[in-house]
């Protein structure tokens, strides 16, 4: 299982980078679109 850290706007992290990591985790964890929405 690939873990995704929460994204907080105040973090210095780039939102696009977080989305890319999230989508890779979605694929690796085989999350459905409904599950993806619940997690995000």
Print pLDDT tens along the chain (40 aa): 888 988 887 766 688 899 999 999 999 999 988 887 887 7
DSSP of 1-40: ----PPP-TTSSS-HHHHHHHHHHHHHHHT--HHHHHHH-
Q: What is the pTM of this model?
A: 0.73
At 11 the pLDDT is: 60
At 28 the pLDDT is: 94
CB neighbour list of residue 16: distance below 8 Å, 6 or more residues apart: none
Q: Hey, where are the domains in the chain?
A: 12-40
At 23 the pLDDT is: 93
Cβ atoms 30, 1 nearer than 8 A: no
Take residue 39 and report the two structure tokens written for it.
Answer: 């997690």
């Amino acid at each position: 299982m690939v873990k995704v850290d929460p994204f907080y706007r105040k973090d210095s992290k780039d939102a696009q980078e977080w989305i890319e990591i999230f989508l890779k985790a979605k694929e690796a964890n085989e999350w459905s679109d409904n599950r993806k929405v619940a997690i995000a």
